[in-house]
């Protein structure tokens, strides 16, 4: 009996080695096949000529720059109405925030001039506030070298598109312009007295 024991041990270890190699091969082949099917389902197969899915840039949280509140006399008859306005700018990144800070005195002056030309009746309406926000966006973008079309210019381009028979749902073809890093103008406070 003692002579049979050493021969049985090498047979068991060979079986175990074969099983381990089989499992490893199965994992390698199975993993490669799974990767192939995953890439194919994402449009990455090269045989069909389908382009690989374009990776989108990860979204970066915008930077917000709060400006000091401004008190402005309004253009109402008698000159006894004023507005206190708090503005926060939504910007692309911290670099843009630093650029805006460099031009802040010019921007504040332009905003004060814009608001002082409005009447309380205009600013009490939602449309008046939206128009003011668009004008402020243009005023903030100008020193950075970006242009924002005025409401009149947008209306003209819509009218021209209608005359040309372009579909309104289809985006208009434009020259490739860099995207304005000043996304929006937000009002943090808006008091008219």
Identify the pLDDT of residue 78: 87
- Same domain assignment for residues 2 and 91: no
Looking at the DSSP assignment, which residues form a beta bridge with residue 70? 85
Domain tally for the chain? 2
Identify the pLDDT of residue 45: 45
Per the structure, the complete domain to which residue 140 belongs is given by 63-164+180-192
Identify the pLDDT of residue 179: 86
- Same domain assignment for residues 99 and 187: yes
CA distance 6 to 21: 23
Task: State the SS3 of the chain.
Answer: CCCHHHHHHHHHHHHHHHHHHHHHHHHHHHHHHHHHHHHHHCCCCCCCCCCCCCCCCCCCCCEEEECCCEEEECCCCCCCCEEEEEEEEEECCHHHHHHHHHCHHHHHHHHHHHHHCCCHHHHHCHHHHHHHHHHHHHHHHHHHCCCCCCHHHHHHHHHHHHHCCCCCCCCCCCCCCCCCCEEEEEEEEEEEC
Identify the pLDDT of residue 72: 95
First to last CA, the chain: 109
Identify the pLDDT of residue 83: 96
Identify the pLDDT of residue 46: 47
- Same domain assignment for residues 92 and 8: no
- Same domain assignment for residues 72 and 134: yes
- Same domain assignment for residues 96 and 136: yes
* Residue environment code for 17-55, b if the CB has 16+ CB neighbours within 10 A, otherwise e: eeeeeeeeeeeeeeeeeeeeeeeeeeeeeeeeeeeeeee
- Same domain assignment for residues 16 and 67: no
CA distance 129 to 118: 10
CATH number at residue 72: 3.30.479.30
pLDDT digit string (tens) for the chain, length 193 residues: 555 555 555 666 778 777 888 777 766 766 666 666 666 666 544 444 445 555 566 677 889 999 999 999 999 998 899 999 999 999 999 999 999 999 999 999 999 999 999 999 999 999 999 999 999 999 999 998 888 877 676 667 666 666 766 555 555 555 556 788 999 999 999 999 9
Looking at the DSSP assignment, which residues form a beta bridge with residue 63? 91
- Same domain assignment for residues 76 and 158: yes
The pTM (predicted TM-score) of the whole model is 0.60
């Amino acid at each position: 009996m003692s002579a049979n024991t050493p021969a049985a041990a090498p047979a068991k270890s060979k079986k175990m080695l074969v099983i381990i190699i089989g499992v490893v091969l199965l994992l390698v082949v199975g993993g490669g096949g799974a990767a192939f099917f995953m890439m194919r389902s994402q449009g990455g197969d090269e045989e069909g000529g389908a382009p690989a899915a374009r990776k989108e840039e990860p979204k970066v949280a915008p930077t917000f720059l709060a400006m000091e509140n401004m008190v402005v006399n309004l253009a109402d008859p008698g000159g006894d109405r004023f507005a206190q306005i708090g503005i926060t700018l939504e910007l692309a990144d911290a670099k843009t925030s630093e650029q805006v800070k460099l031009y802040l005195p010019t921007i504040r002056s332009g905003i004060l001039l814009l608001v002082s030309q409005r009447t309380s009746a205009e600013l009490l309406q939602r449309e008046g506030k939206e128009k003011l926000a668009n004008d402020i966006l243009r005023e903030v973008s100008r020193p950075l070298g970006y242009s924002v079309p005025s409401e009149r210019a947008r209306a003209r381009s819509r009218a021209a598109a209608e005359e040309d028979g372009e579909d309104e749902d289809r985006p208009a073809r434009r020259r490739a312009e860099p995207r304005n890093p000043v996304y929006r103008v937000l009002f943090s406070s808006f008091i008219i007295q």
